[in-house]
Structure 1
Amino acid sequence: MTTHSTAGLTHDHVFLGADHHRNERRIWLVIALTASMMVAEILAGTVYGSMALVADGWHMSTHAGAMLIAALAYSYARRHARDPRFTFGTGKLGDLAGFASAIVLALIALLIGWESFVRLANPVAISFEQAIAVAVAGLLVNLLSAWLLRDDHGHHHHGHAHSHAHPHDHDRHTRDNNLRAAYLHVLADALTSVLAIAALLLGRSYGWLWADPAMGVVGALVIVRWSWGLIRETGGVLIDAVPEGEGLVADIRAALERGEERITDLHVWQVGPGHHAAIVSIASPQPKAPSDYKARLAHIEALSHVTVEVQPA
C-alpha cells in the first residue's frame, strides 16, 4: 500500500534551463565557425608575415576553448540531469562553466593589455591590406556567432503567465550564465576585431602605428569589465547567494505571512537557469500541513523546489 501513498510525494530534480537543447546545438555550431576562422587566420598570418593575424588566430583559440567548456557543461548537465548524486540536479553546472569561462576572459584581457603595452614601446610594422581583410572576415564570423548565441528565450518562453510583481526582472532570473559566458567571449572577439580594424585604418591613413596598441588597451579594459560582471553573477549562484533584485524573497513573504503566521527562517537560492529552491520555516498559532503552504507558493514560477517546516507559535 505504501507505494500509492508516496507516489504523489516524490519529484524529480531536473533544473535545466528552458532552452538547454537549443543552446547546446548552437554552441557546437559556433565552435565549428570559430575554429575554422582561427585556422584561416593563423595560416594567413604566417603567409603574409602578419604577427597581428597570427596573434589574433591564437587569441581566437582561447575563445574557442572557453566555448568548448560551455558545450561540455551543457552535454554533461543534460546526461546527468537525473543522476541522484547531484542532489539538486545539474542546473548549476552552467554557472560553474560560466565562472571558469569568465576567468579565462579576464586572462585574455590581461594578455591583450600586456601585449599592447609591449607594442606601444616597440611598434611593429603591419601589412595593412591583408590584416584589414582578415580582420573584417573575423568580425563577420563573430557577428554571426553572436547572433546565434543571443539569449532571447526570456521573450518568447514565459512571456505569457506572469504573476510576478517584478516583470522587468524576469529576464535576469532565467538568464543562462553558460550561454552568456560564451556570448561574451564572442562579443569580446568582435570588439577586438572592430578596434583592430579602426586602428589599422588609422595606421594606414595617417601612419599612426601607436593606434593599434592603444586600441588594444581600450579593448582589454572593456573585456575586464564584462568579465568582472560575469564572475560576480556566477560566483553568487555558486555560493548560493540570495538572488538579488528579483523580488523573489518579497513574493514568498507576501504569499506566506498571513495573520499571525510568521516566517522564522528563509533560504532562497538558484539551482539552475530560471529555477530556484527555497527552505521555509513558519511559526503559526494554528499550524497547517506543509502542503497548504506549498500551495500558496504555487503561483511563483521561479520556485522549482520548496521545503516547508511548520512550528506551533
Structure 2
Amino acid sequence: MNPPPIDHWQHDHSFHHDNRQAERNTHRVILLTLVMMVIEILGGWLFGSMALLADGWHMGTHVFALGITAAAYIYSRRHAADTSYSYGTGKVGVLSGYTSAILLAGVAALMIGESIDRLLHPNAIHFNEALLVAVIGLIVNLASAAMLHAGGEDHGHHHGHSHHHDHNLKAAYLHVIADALTSVTAIVALLCGKYFGWMWLDPAMGIVGAVIIGIWAWGLMKDTSSILLDRQPDATINQQIREALESDHTKIADLHVRHISPHALAAEISLVSYEPFTTRVYKEQLNAIKNLQHTTIEVHHFNDITSVSPSSP
C-alpha cells in the first residue's frame, strides 16, 4: 500500500528574494565606476594630483567589490532551487556583504597610508584640470548611489522590506558613497589648495574620510557576521515565541532561532506538555510572528520522564 502524499508537511526551502532591479542597476554602476576610475587615474597622472590618483585607485577597489555584489546576485538567482543548499541561497548576499565590508576596511587603511605619504611628500598640482575631473567623479558617484537606492526601494515595495535588509545591496551602496566621500574631500582639498595654499588639507581630509569609511565597514561587518554565525536575532522574537506557545500546561524546553536569509528566520523548538497538541496546532500559533518562515517542533509529554531510567553518574 502506497503512503499518502506528504506535501502538506513539507517546507519550502527556497528563501532567495529575487531583486532584478538592484541587479541591473549594480551592473550599470559597475560600468560607470569603471569608466570614471580610468578617467581619474589618467587625470591624476597627467595633472599631478595625488588626490585624484588616490580616488581613482579607490574606485578600482570598489569596482572589484561591486563585481562581487553582481556575482552574488547572479549566483543566488541561478541556484535558488538547488536542494544542496539546506535553506536556499539567502545567505549568499550576506557573505558578499561581509566580503565587501572587509574590502571597504582595506580601502580605509590604504587611504590613511596614502594621506600620510601625501602629507610628508607634497607635490605640484594642476588645480583647474584636477577639479574638473573630481567634480565629474562626484556626479557619477551620486548618480550611481541614486540608482542603487532605486533598486532597493523597488525591492522593498515588492517584498515589504527595506533595502537596508539586503546586505549585498547595502555593501554596494556603501562602496559608492565612500567613492563620493573621497571625491568631496578631493574637491575641498583642491579648492583650498588653489585659493588659500592649504596643501596640508588634502591629506588631513583623506584621513577623516578614511575614518568614516572604516566606521561604515565595521557596522556592515557586524550586521553580516551575526547572520553568518547564526547569532540569535532580536530577543523579542524569542519572547514572542514563548508567549505564543507556553501556557500552564506547556513549556519550551529548548529554543533556537536564527536567520536563514536577511528576511527569513528559522526556529527549532522543543516543547514539553501535560496535554500536548499536534505540531500543526503549535505552528498555527506562530503564524503571527513576522519573518518566521521555517519551524521544526518536537513535542514531549511530561509523563514521559517517568518512563526514562536515570542515567548513571
Same fold (TM over 0.5): yes
Check if 1:113 corresponds to 2:102: no
Deviation digits for residues 114-157 of structure 1 (CA, Å, limit 9, x no counterpart): 11111111222221111111111111111111111123358634
Q: Give the partner amino acid of 2:7.
A: A
Mapped contact 2:48–2:124 kept (Cα < 8 A): no
TM-score when normalising by structure 1 = 0.90
291-300 vs 45-54, which moves further: 45-54
For the aligned residue pairs, the C-alpha RMSD in angstroms reads 1.9
Measure how far apart 1:257 and its partner are. 1.5
- The equivalent residue for 1:8 is 8
Measure how far apart 1:3 and its partner are. 6.2
Q: Structure 1 vs Structure 2: percent identity of aligned residues?
A: 50
- Listed as ranges, the gaps of 5+ residues in structure 1 are 160-169
Matches within 5 A, 1:87-98: 87-98=86-97
273-282 vs 146-155, which moves further: 146-155
Measure how far apart 1:2 and its partner are. 4.7
Matched residues in 2 for 1:38 and 1:266: separation?
Answer: 50
Matched residues in 2 for 1:24 and 1:13: separation?
Answer: 22
Mapped contact 2:11–2:294 kept (Cα < 8 A): no
Check if 1:211 corresponds to 2:212: no
Measure how far apart 1:244 and its partner are. 2.8
Matches within 5 A, 1:125-274: 125-150=124-149, 151-152=152-153, 156-157=157-158, 171=162, 175-244=165-234, 247-274=236-263
Matched residue SS, 1:152:
helix
Mapped contact 1:285–1:312 kept (Cα < 8 A): yes
Matched residue SS, 1:279:
strand
Measure how far apart 1:230 and its partner are. 0.7
Measure how far apart 1:92 and its partner are. 0.4
Q: Give the partner amino acid of 2:189.
A: A
Check if 1:281 corresponds to 2:270: yes
- The equivalent residue for 2:100 is 101
Matched residue SS, 2:57:
helix
Matched residues in 2 for 1:288 and 1:85: separation?
Answer: 33
- Listed as ranges, the gaps of 5+ residues in structure 2 are 303-313
Determine which structure has more spread, i.e. the larger CA radius of gyration.
2
- The equivalent residue for 1:311 is 300
Matched residues in 2 for 1:23 and 1:2: separation?
Answer: 47
- The equivalent residue for 2:310 is none
Measure how far apart 1:258 and its partner are. 2.7
- The equivalent residue for 1:293 is 282
Measure how far apart 1:263 and its partner are. 1.2
- The equivalent residue for 1:50 is 49
Measure how far apart 1:31 and its partner are. 0.7
- Size of the aligned set, in residue pairs, is 300
Q: Give the partner amino acid of 1:6.
A: I
Measure how far apart 1:226 and its partner are. 0.5
Matched residues in 2 for 1:47 and 1:212: separation?
Answer: 18
Matched residue SS, 1:42:
helix
Matched residues in 2 for 1:59 and 1:155: separation?
Answer: 30
Matched residue SS, 2:266:
strand
Q: Give the partner amino acid of 1:210.
A: W
Matched residue SS, 2:165:
coil
TM-score when normalising by structure 2 = 0.90
